[in-house]
């Protein structure tokens, strides 16, 4: 039973409602109130407009190009202390799995998948995460910068002994940014980069002799990964993007293969 809230309560909750931070009951009460109260609805529309404007136009200050390099040079960090075993498995983002929004089933399932991942896969995934981090750090994201797959795909010709499939899903919100030549386990690898909101995604593609394998969703050192094998190609998606959205991109790609 939803009981009506007054304008004062509505205004207090309005921004939590706007940011999707209210609990279901409270959100329903705000929605109900907005439905009936033109004044609060106007306030809500104004706030929404402002947020949209900020997200679209507020400048994001880009860090100077040399900052990461200078920082790395100046910090001689001591070797990392051994982390707890579970922490090691889950990575620093492990806790995020426990956040509300992920069902227990999803948690259990991904843990099972993760633990069941054959250890042979692990070095690939580890290196993919390192390469992803490096690509963000050293300002070397792309060798060929283009959102046109007919520019990106031919660029790899002659540089690789296989033809990586190149996809563009800008319609679905995953914008192709370009590609670069990379190496995983000393093997030449095609790395395609995609943007989704403010998140960057690396897609690594390289040949494999192993049989096809269905997509697995994993979390490693705070990053999310989706990895699968198809037609003797190994695909690894890495990003700090939320797991569900990364998995969605994985599904789009697999559908097009």
Partner 1 sequence: MTRFEELFLPHLKAAYNLARWLTDNDSAAQDVVQESAFRAVKFLHRFDGGNPKAWFLTIVRNESYNWLKAAARQGAVAFDEACGEDEPALADGRTPEWQLIQGQEAAQLQQALLALAPVFREVIVLKELEDMPYKDIAKIVDIPLGTVMSRLARARSMLRQQLQKSRP
Residue 185 sits at the vertex; the CA angle it makes with 180 and 193, to the nearest 5 degrees, is 25
- Give me the residue label for tokens 């609990």: 23
Q: Which is nearer to partner 1, 93 or 207 (CB)?
A: 93
How many chain residues are in contact with partner 1, going by CB under 8 A? 52
Which segments of 170-212 are extended strands (E)? 175-184, 187-196, 199-207
Q: Which of 4, 71, 112, 163 binds partner 1 (CB under 8 A)?
A: 71
Collapsing DSSP to helix, strand or coil, 217 comes out as strand
Instruction: Give the CA radius of gyration of the chain.
Output: 22
Q: Which of 31, 45, 72, 183 binds partner 1 (CB under 8 A)?
A: 72
User: Distance (Å, rounded) from C-alpha 192 to C-alpha 205?
Assistant: 8
Q: Which is nearer to partner 1, 30 or 253 (CB)?
A: 30
- Asked if 75 is part of the footprint of partner 1 (rule: CB under 8 A), the reply reads yes
- Asked if 94 is part of the footprint of partner 1 (rule: CB under 8 A), the reply reads yes
- Asked if 53 is part of the footprint of partner 1 (rule: CB under 8 A), the reply reads yes
- Asked if 54 is part of the footprint of partner 1 (rule: CB under 8 A), the reply reads yes
User: Distance (Å, rounded) from C-alpha 225 to C-alpha 206?
Assistant: 16
Binding string, residues 182-221; x marks residues near partner 1 by CB under 8 A: ---------------xx----------------------x
């Amino acid at each position: 039973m939803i009981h009506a809230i007054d304008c004062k309560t509505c205004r207090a909750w309005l921004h939590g409602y706007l940011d999707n931070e209210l609990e279901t009951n409270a959100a329903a009460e705000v929605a109900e109130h907005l439905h009936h109260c033109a004044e609060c609805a106007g306030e809500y529309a104004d706030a929404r407009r402002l947020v949209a404007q900020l997200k679209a136009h507020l400048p994001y200050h880009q860090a100077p190009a040399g900052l990461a390099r200078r920082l790395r040079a100046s910090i001689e960090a001591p070797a990392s202390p051994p982390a707890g075993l579970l922490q090691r498995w889950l990575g620093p983002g492990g806790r995020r799995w426990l956040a509300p929004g992920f069902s227990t089933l999803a948690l259990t399932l991904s843990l099972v998948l993760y633990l069941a991942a054959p250890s042979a896969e692990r070095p690939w995934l580890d290196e993919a995460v390192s390469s992803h981090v490096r690509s963000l750090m050293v300002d070397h994201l792309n060798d060929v910068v283009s959102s046109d797959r007919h520019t990106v795909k031919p660029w790899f010709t002659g540089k690789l002994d296989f033809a990586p499939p190149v996809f563009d899903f800008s319609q679905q919100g995953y914008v192709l940014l370009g590609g670069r030549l990379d190496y995983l386990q000393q093997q030449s690898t095609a790395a395609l980069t995609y943007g989704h909101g403010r998140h960057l995604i690396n897609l690594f593609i390289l040949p494999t002799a192993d049989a096809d394998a269905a997509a697995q969703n994993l979390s490693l050192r705070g990053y999310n990964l989706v990895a699968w094998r198809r037609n003797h190609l190994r695909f690894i998606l890495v990003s700090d993007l939320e797991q569900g959205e990364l998995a969605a991109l994985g599904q789009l790609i697999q559908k097009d293969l």
